[in-house]
Amino acid sequence: MPDLAWLTARPIAHRGLHDAAAGVIENTGSAFAAAIAGGFAIETDLQISADGEAMVHHDDALGRLTEGSEALARMSAAAIQAVRFKATADRILTLAALCELVAGRVPMVIELKSRFDGDMRLAVRAAEVLAGYAGPAALMSFDPAPIARIRQIAPHLPRGIVAERHYTHHEWDRLSAFEKFSLAFLLHAPQSRPQFLAYSVKDLPAAVPLVARRAFGLPLLTWTVRSESDRARAARYADQMIFEGFRPS
């Protein structure tokens, strides 16, 4: 097990230190710069472009925060980078551009978004980019398949699983009841071999993260901490929080 003390050393800003009211939008260069200035680690998301580039964006399609409505997987990286956010001059970054911006000043915890369709291009590209990055960075995903692939192609890269107890959101409708059960109870662990766990704060305390943390020594992050009750739960049951909507003192 690698030394992951850096992973839990400081609070982790969810999608950067964003504040829409102040014109700082999630997962933008401005939000990441604010996190760096505040001394916080950064959590962010990656989507795959049509030409196989790792793009920094949470949603799989444009529209919520940006102009347009097209799926990122059907757009080239160049086309995605040309898209404007609605409330700022920021543009969507590539993972390589994010690495250049952060330059090792704070840790990065990067989620590989997945459609659970066996597409490993994003995992492969993220591993390629991070192979040349000297700063602290870890990859994680709800989907154990890309994490298992990272274990194969880049075993030196810290890897984790994002999980929750109840997969009730409509985004999980594509999964069978057994698949949800497998994710909730980490039945994939012999293949994915996660080195840390990021678990929903709303589901703490829970047996799975408790065993992972105490019996197997896996660092436990918890998401997304937004309230005082969330903070108290995170402090009691996890090693570090992934937060948004406030600035930790």
**Class of domain 5-243 (CATH, top level):** alpha beta
* Tokens, residue 120: 């490993």
The tens place of each residue's pLDDT in the chain, 249 residues long, gives 789 999 999 999 999 999 999 999 999 999 999 999 999 999 999 999 999 999 999 999 999 999 999 999 999 999 999 999 998 999 999 999 999 999 999 999 999 999 999 999 999 999 999 999 999 999 999 999 999 999 999 999 999 999 999 999 999 999 999 999 999 999 999 999 999 999 999 999 999 999 999 999 999 999 999 999 999 999 999 999 999 999 998
- CA-to-CA separations, 220 to 82, 107, 162, 193, 205, in angstroms, rounded: 37, 16, 10, 15, 12
* pLDDT of the residue at 249: 83
83 and 68 Cβ atoms separated by less than 8 Å: yes
The two three-digit tokens of residue 123, written as one number: 């995992």
Distance of CA 56 to the CA centre of its chain: 10
In this prediction, residue 164 carries a pLDDT of 98
pTM: 0.97
Mark out the alpha helices in 19-143 (DSSP H runs).
29-38, 77-81, 95-102, 121-130
Q: Report the distance separating Cα 235 and Cα 217, nearest Å.
A: 17
Instruction: Determine the Cα–Cα distance for residues 214 and 216; give it in Å rounded to an integer.
Output: 6
Q: Taking a C-beta distance cutoff of 8 angstroms, is the pair 178, 198 a contact?
A: no
In this structure, what DSSP letter does residue 83 have? P
Structure tokens at 130: 């991070």
Residues in the chain: 249
Structure tokens at 65: 């925060």
What values do phi and psi take at 91, rounded to 5? -120, 165
Q: How far apart are the first and last CA of the chain?
A: 31
CB-based burial label for 231 (10 Å; 0-12, 13-18, 19+): middle
Q: How many CB atoms lie within 10 A of CB 32?
A: 29
- Please tell me the distance from the alpha carbon of residue 216 to that of residue 6, in angstroms, as a whole number: 18
Helix, strand, coil share of the chain (percent; to 5): 35, 20, 45
Can you say how many angstroms the Cα of residue 180 is from the centroid of all Cα atoms in its chain?
Answer: 19
- What pLDDT score was predicted for residue 226? 98
Q: In the chain, what are the domain boundaries? A: 5-243
d(CA 47, CA 74): 11
The predicted pLDDT at position 247 comes to: 96
**What pLDDT score was predicted for residue 1?**
73
Three-state SS for 177-198 is HHHHHHHHCCCCHHHHCCCEEE
